[in-house]
Amino acid sequence: MSTLRKPAGTTIAAHAILITYTLIALFPVFVILINSFKTRRAIFREPLALPNADSFSLIGYQTVFNQGDFFLYFQNSMIVTVVSLTLILLFGAMAAFALAEYGFRGNTLMGLYLALGIMIPIRIGTVAILEMMVSTGLVNTLTALILVYTAQGLPLAVFILSEFMRGVSDDLKNAGRIDGLSEYQIFFRLVLPLVRPAMATVAVFNMIPIWNDLWFPLILAPAEEVKTLTLGSQVFIGQFVTDWNAVLSALSMAILPVMILYVIFSRQLIRGITSGAVK
């Protein structure tokens, strides 16, 4: 990227604003992290203090590991998130390609129909979804969650990706056709690599709500062996007593995988967001 020469004052102001925002955004995460390493008493006495020799304690992490099957929850969350994301990206990109590339009858209508899902929250249909899951015997399976999250993520994915796919040069696709690539090869080998930034954007937008969701796990898959991390952590939040050490430790650990996935996607993400502007 080229460096544009800007007045120093503007640069400093921009940095000041961005740094302030970063601090504000990171503050809650920071508080959770430091408090997860403190004794219960220290958490309440001085919530903002760093853990020291006196207040340091791993009791929260011990509770989490001893109580409940934390690794199983973790694994469940991971499976649900990764599989849902994969399906959203795969089917979203395929639908977007069809909408962007082929002028079939009803193309616009289909696009509108798919975009409708962006405006209607899927939770409105919870009761119907639950009934369907009961009658198909999918209650208390990870499949139920994966299906729901895929359905929830597809509309936005199709919408964003089809916009990007319209931007891929026709000549390139035609060159592929002349060189004998099939439509599938054109999709997977020419178009997908070029819309990778958009795919990353879609992945990040979908990943966090899925990972953090409490609603559908609670309703569709509350059984012990299919609990997700968010639902599993709820055992520490009681109606009368809350085990803050355990809650904070569980949350700290839940942040990690999201962070890792985010780092993987973020380079692409930034390119996706700025791709219109910087070219």
Partner 1 sequence: MTALKLENVNKSFGPVHVLKDINLTVEEGEFVVFVGPSGCGKSTLLRVIAGLEDASSGTVQIGDDIVNDVPPAKRGIAMVFQSYALYPHLTVKGNMGLGLKQEGQPKSVIEERVDKASKMLDLDDYLTRRPAELSGGQRQRVAIGRAIVRDPKLFLFDEPLSNLDAALRMNTRVEIAALHRTLSASMIYVTHDQIEAMTLADKIVVLRDGRIEQIGSPMELYNNPANRFVAGFLGSPSMNFLVRSVPGVAPGQTIGIRPEYLGLRADGQIAGQVTHVERLGGDTNLLVRTEQGETLTVRLFGQNDTQVGADVRLGFDPQMAFYFDETDHRVLPKAA
| Both structure tokens of 239 | 């109606």
Judged by CB under 8 A, the residue of 116, 172, 260, 270 near partner 1 is: 172
Query: Segment 193-232, which members bind partner 1 (CB under 8 A)?
Result: 193-194
Judged by CB under 8 A, the residue of 117, 153, 176, 272 near partner 1 is: 176
| Both structure tokens of 164 | 């990007």
Check if the beta carbon of residue 272 is closer than 8 Å to that of residue 201.
Answer: yes
Judged by CB under 8 A, the residue of 62, 174, 266, 274 near partner 1 is: 174
- The amino acid that residue 89 corresponds to is L
Q: How far is the CB of 109 from partner 1 (least distance, A)?
A: 16
Query: Segment 115-154, which members bind partner 1 (CB under 8 A)?
Result: none
> Among 162, 160, 184, 161, which Cα is nearest to 173's?
184
Distance CA 115, CA 113 (A): 5
263 binds partner 1 (CB under 8 A): no
271 binds partner 1 (CB under 8 A): no
Continuous segment of H or E residues that includes residue 27: helix 8-36
Total chain residues near partner 1 (CB under 8 A): 15
DSSP bridge pairs for 38:
56
Report the length, in residues, of the chain: 279
Tokens 């997860």 locate to 36
Q: How far is the CB of 175 from partner 1 (least distance, A)?
A: 4
178 binds partner 1 (CB under 8 A): yes
Residues that bind partner 1 (CB under 8 A): 169, 171-172, 174-181, 189-190, 193-194
